Amino acid sequence: MKDLAEQSRAYRRTTRTLADGREIIYFDDTPDAPPRTAEDTRDLPESQPRSEVRRDPLTGERVAIASHRQTRTYKPPADLCPLCPSTPGRPTEIPESSYDVVVFENRFPSLAENVPDTPSTVDGMPMVELAPGRGRCEVVCFTSDHSSSFGQLSAQRVRTVVDVWADRTEALNAVPGVEHVFPFENRGEEIGVTLSHPHGQIYGYPFVTPRTELMQKVAKDHLEATGRPVMGDVLAAERAAGTRVVAEGEHWTAFVPAAARWPVQVHLVPHRQVPDLPALTDAERDDFAHLYLEVLRRLDGLYDRPLPYIAGWHQAPARTGRDLAWLHLEVFSVLRTADKLKYLAGSESGAGVWINDATPEQIAERLRG
């Protein structure tokens, strides 16, 4: 473990600018990686996103409106992938001819720092609050290999990605107006992925997301009632029972939550309460890299095919309730059998009441096997 930590901290960080002014950052963990000096030769107009955020007067939830995203790239062939390295005559979003891990501002962001001001309410509806969609959306490419996947990365590369997530969480937490940072990966067409290159995204929201608000309320109520963090009690109970545990490391445990809503769902939870990714120690980051690869191997083995999934980091808001949060990664899939999808029907989409066709204990047993 020590060798892995020493290697992963040796990455080189290089910041450059794309043709339309967006920031791109290279994180190189290959010892002989060339200096990142390539220029973006594309003739791109200056990015002018026009996102706004509206508050639903009936639920209090916020909805981001980003109509400029209708023209974003949609399922290009592999030889036209905008996330692959640039080649002579075919410049992409990454000007270099190779890379290890790279982060850049999304060309079609749901939220951006430079959006124009808006009125305070929707015209004719003073009960609908309106605000500019100010935040930040970044793309994270895990490898330059178009045909690879996160589960095929080396442990060293996964550790670098963890460091990148932590780097960007810390940076976005400091962006004025950003209240919550959410790194995530969507994988597979069944999930809705429109670019098949191995990549994830990081959203810096101008508000605390509804899911996090709810988890913080539950955590506060549990702490006031028992004096203990709710995730700590959940983790202790799951480890003691063992029936829903999928895999364990020295510092992390992966388990199917007892009230799983998805046909495949796993939580990866550190044994120590930390608010976010930057708070993880070197040893915890090392252990996560190995455990997550083991979990992904089991997920892909479930139906003997690459599993479509969403993996998202639940971490503390930038400025509120940080003492209540317990960092964890949630991975879930809509695939309920090898060839059947779980569709969100009336109960889930309309009423918000989830119905699972398998018990969490069955899901865990299949993943362990």
Pairing outcome for strands 245-248 and 252-255: antiparallel
d(CA 5, CA 63) in angstroms, rounded, equals 40
Dihedral pair phi/psi, residue 323, rounded to 5°: -75, -15
Q: What letters, b where the CB count within 10 A reaches 16 and e where it falls short, cover 13-34?
A: ebebebeeebebbbbbbeeebe
Q: State the Cα torsion 282-288-293-295 to the nearest 10°.
A: 170
**What are the CA-CA distances from residue 65 to residues 47, 68, 175, 191, 341 (Å)?**
17, 9, 21, 21, 28
Using alpha carbons, select from 129, 127, 76, 93 the residue that is nearest to residue 16: 93
Residues marked as catalytic: 199
Strand order in the sheet with 121-122: 62-65, 52-55, 125-132, 121-122
Using alpha carbons, select from 288, 369, 279, 269 the residue that is nearest to residue 329: 269
Using alpha carbons, select from 131, 167, 44 the residue that is nearest to residue 95: 44
**What are the CA-CA distances from residue 107 to residues 75, 286, 367 (Å)?**
16, 32, 37
